[in-house]
Structure formats: structure tokens, C-alpha cells
Structure 1
Amino acid sequence: MNYDTFVDQVAQRAGVPSTRAVELTRATLETLAERLTGGEALDLAAQLPKPLQLLLRKTPSTEHAQRFGAAEFVARAGQRADADPVATRTGIRAVFATLREAISGGEFDDVTAQLPRDYRDLVEAATTTGAALRRA
């Protein structure tokens, strides 16, 4: 999946303009990079378009996964995207649903395996029929 298609799908799923989808995607992937181990972030990045790969780049000081729950994930992503919690949750769900389509099923499973149960509400939308694109 190319970058423009990724952003367009996030925009459709979240019901936001493309410019807002870019912000929500950036915020979600940067926060996800903090939550994943360095190796997993690299594996995920390898399957994404170049502009998205850069968002998942780890440094030696961020090689280890930070441990924080779903509420903190939403708070961090919301702060990055300058969005309220409802819009942030919607955006995160849209990004996860789009990731599910953009990467291999095995890689998606590897990513979600690193997330605790309280992320279920954010990630499950990616595996249900509700993740289908909204049709106009």
C-alpha cells in the first residue's frame, strides 16, 4: 500500500480530511514506536511506505519498549495530534484498521502481541467487519 492510499483510508475510516488523517497517523505511529521494542518497530516499518517508516525509527535510547496502557497511549497520541480523546481514539482505531490491511497478518499479530489487554478496544476494530471502509 502506498502512502497516499494509507492516508486516504485513515481519513475515510476516521471521517476526517486527509490533512487531519496525516496528523492522526503520525501521532499514532510515533506513539506506537514508543510502545514497541526496537526490533518490532523495525519489522513493522519495513512493510510500510517510506514516509511512515520514518515515524517508527528507534534510537539507541529508545530501543526498549516503554510500558504504558491504552489510556496513556490515547493521551500521548492526542497531545501529538492536538486532538480531543474521542477524535484521538477514532483516529487510532482507523490507523490500526489500515495497518491491518497494509501489512502481513503475521506482522500485525506480532505488533498486537506486544500490547496489553487494555488496548483491545483500540485494536479490535482492525479485526472486525466495522473496520471496512465507509462507502459514500
Structure 2
Amino acid sequence: MNFDEFTGQVQHRLSLPGTGESVRAIRATLTTLGERIQEGEATDLAGSLPMEIDYYLTDAVEEHGQRFDWTEFIERVWEREGMQDRDDRSDAAYHARVVLDVVNEIVSPNEMRQVREQLPADDGWDELFDVIDQNA
């Protein structure tokens, strides 16, 4: 999947008005995920993504492997996506789920399993994979 197809899928599934909005959702999600998972895993996951967006995972704003919970993950996505005009974080959570679902379509099942293994199962992180699990 190339960049245009990837961003087009995100734009369509989220009913966003343009490419800019879909790129913001992708950047917010992948940058935050890149901060949460280990650097090697971020590099592995990025290897299958279009080169225009793979660096969102590998060039995390903060260091890789940070320990933060699902609520903090959504807070960071919400801020990065520029959703401050909305008090409700549910849109940010849904955007992250959809972006990860599109990622799931182009990476190996083993790669997505490794990402899941780096996130605690008892901290709400399963919500990140809701769309993927529904489509399985």
C-alpha cells in the first residue's frame, strides 16, 4: 500500500474532509505509539509502512519505551491531532483504532502480535485493537 492509498483509507474510514486531516490522525497515532513501544519494535513496524509516514514511529518526539496507560495514549493523540476544541476524547480513540487497523492490513500478523505483546493487557490497551478484532 502506498502513501496515497494509506491516507485515502484513513480518510474514507474516518469520513474526514481531506488528506491533511487524515495525515494528522496518522501522525498523532503513530508518533504516540512509537513513544510507547520499544525502539526496535517501532523500527520493525515502520518497515512495512509507506516511507512518507514510517518515520512517525521511529522518530518519536519523546524516547521510545515509555510507560503510560491507555488514557495517556488517547490524551497524547487528542493533543497531537489538534482536537482541543472537543472535550470528548472518544474521537481520538476511534481515530487511533482505525489508523492501527489500516496498519494491520499491511504488516505481518507476527508484527502486530509483537506490538500487542508490548502493551499491557489489563490497562485498557485492548481497546486499541477493537477495530482489528472486529474485522478478523
TM-score scaled by structure 1?
0.86
Within the candidate set 98, 105, 108, 1:101 is matched to 105
Give the secondary-structure state (helix, strand or coil) at the position aligned to 1:116: coil
CA contact (8 A) 1:38 1:58 kept: no
Asked whether 1:6 is paired with 2:10, we answer no
Identity %: 35
Which structure features the higher share of helix residues?
Answer: 1
TM-score scaled by structure 2?
0.86
Q: How does 1:13-24 map to 2 (within 5 A)?
A: 13-17=13-17, 18-24=19-25
- Displacement of 1:19 after TM fit? 2.0
Q: How does 1:1-136 map to 2 (within 5 A)?
A: 1-17=1-17, 18-58=19-59, 62=63, 64-83=64-83, 84=86, 85-117=89-121, 118-129=124-135
CA contact (8 A) 2:24 2:81 kept: yes
Gaps of 5+ in 1: 132-136
Counterpart residue type for residue 117 of structure 2: A
Superposition CA RMSD, Å: 1.7
Q: Which fold has the larger relative contact order, with Cα–Cα distance below 8 Å and residues 6 or more apart in sequence?
A: 1
Q: Distance in 2 between matches of 1:7 and 1:115?
A: 25
